[in-house]
Amino acid sequence: MSQNTLVERLVSTVPSKRQLAWHELEFYAFIHFGINTFYDREWGNGQEDPAMFNPTELDTDQWVQTIKAAGMKAILLTCKHHDGFCLWPSAYTEFSIKNSPYKDGKGDLVKELAESCKKHDMKFGVYLSPWDQNSSVYGDSEKYDDYFINQLTELLTNYGPIFSVWFDGACGEGPNGKKQIYNWERYYACIRELQPDAVINISGPDIRWCGNEAGHCRESEWNVVPKRLTDPAYTAEHSQQEDNEAFRERPVSFLDQDLGSLEALKDEKEFIWYPSEVDTSIRQGWFYHKHEDDKVRSLETLLEIYYNSVGGNASLLLNIPVDGRGLVHENDAKRLQELGTYIKEAFASNVAPKAKVTTDTAYEDAYDVTHVLTADRGYFKPAQNEESVTLRFELDQAYAINHVVLQEELTESQRIESFEIWVKKADEMEKVYGKTVVGSKRICKFDAVNTDVVEVRITASRIYPTLKFVGIYEAQ
């Protein structure tokens, strides 16, 4: 196809309402907790004794408050991992919390966490492993699909609004030695019917996996990519097939570094809005292990991951393992508080609203350049055919700044292909930052510089660019 036709098709590909809501979350938590916690394992085998599940100090309010302190806005719970043990009293299996000592078999951890999330204004989501090593019908396609749909229905109807249903591609053998062929379209239809506002992540059509569990992402994360990437078989083929520490630490490898440039897409037939999620753990493992208490990731490492994901047009799903007491361990809680404090302070003082903002291009009143000064006043869009644009911010005085945040208007798709940040130093303009894509959010971090003029120079776009927000932050 011609480049003009390609560009037209790309910029006409936009997010759904549910995807837009997901973009706004940016940073949220995974909680791995279950029977594995009490066997000191990453992956169980479905033969565990429910009597081992006995947290004596469990406090879901502590989980939520600790996670919220880090600046996260939602929580996903491993309601059932590959072993098949259910953290809710499922009517369809005996391998669940109802046969554990916890609350004398009357407990329901999904309910407790959902209620704590509601109490503390956090979104709640569910992870349900399609692989079940305990189910006797796993591998019997129709019977197991019925079983899985029944459990999915329980989770989607009994616990209030669900913001995300998270599926991985795990597909091993069941207790009968068989593997299951998952009926993904049936699972998706169930979710769309019961929780139409929920995004379906990873092995699903809404949110894609970044391609590793180490916290790495691409230099240029594009939201519009080939539709073929949504095929669950593609994700399953490249997902973790066994408990393997090397897999958890590998960088981006199975997917190309370039998923969305014009060159990469020129021969593709179908496109989809399929943004990236970075999933990684605050420790080496996903479930709690006492020997990892001194291996919580450093603040510096977590910040690097945060800037590269949330600050690079992806979301960050950070796993927090709950220990055998039923609490987030003190070391993890301390690091999360440090992370939240840093983020809050780094973006506490936005001086952009104190600036006179101008641009070197014409625009319609409806897309006034001053709209970029707040995130909820519409957006700036220059006249058509202006693919290189400069926005100039003349501040009311000199400030020491070290962050600039950019956001595109996603309802107009993703357009910006490269940009630069320039500041005035000693009466000369100097470049302090340059990158490729912007998308949902680009956080530009650089050494603090005293200046009273900042320029955002969009140097290339697929079509005339948009900007929803520009923040200029004073160094703290």
Q: Where are the beta strands (DSSP E) in 364-441?
A: 389-407, 416-425, 428-435
- Write down the domain spans for the chain: 3-346, 352-474
Q: Which long-range contacts (CB under 8 A, 24 or more apart) does 238-246 make?
A: 238/169, 238/211, 239/168, 239/169, 239/170, 239/209, 240/168, 240/170, 240/213, 241/170, 241/172, 242/43, 242/172, 243/41, 243/42, 243/43, 245/284, 245/285
Residue 185 DSSP label: H
**pLDDT confidence of residue 406:** 98
pLDDT in tens, 246-274: 444 444 443 578 899 999 999 999 999 99
Provide, rounded to the nearest whole percent, the portion of the chain with pLDDT above 90.
86
**pLDDT confidence of residue 152:** 98
Is the model more confident about 216 or about 37? Answer: 37
pLDDT in tens, 216-239: 788 899 999 999 988 877 665 554
**pLDDT confidence of residue 471:** 98
Query: Is the whole model's pTM more than 0.85, yes or no?
Result: yes
**pLDDT confidence of residue 29:** 98
**pLDDT confidence of residue 432:** 98
CATH topology of domain 3-346: TIM Barrel (3.20.20)
Over 145-167, what HEC string results?
Answer: HHHHHHHHHHHHHCCCCCCEEEE
Nearest 5°: the CA angle 312, 316, 322 is: 160
Mean pLDDT of 119-128: 98
**pLDDT confidence of residue 3:** 82
pLDDT at 213 over 90: no
Output the average pLDDT for the chain: 93
Residue 280 CB-half CA count within 13 A = 32
pLDDT in tens, 364-398: 999 999 999 998 889 999 988 888 999 999 999 99
Q: Give the separation between CA 49 and CA 238, rounded to whole angstroms.
A: 31
- The dotted CATH code for 352-474 is 2.60.120.260
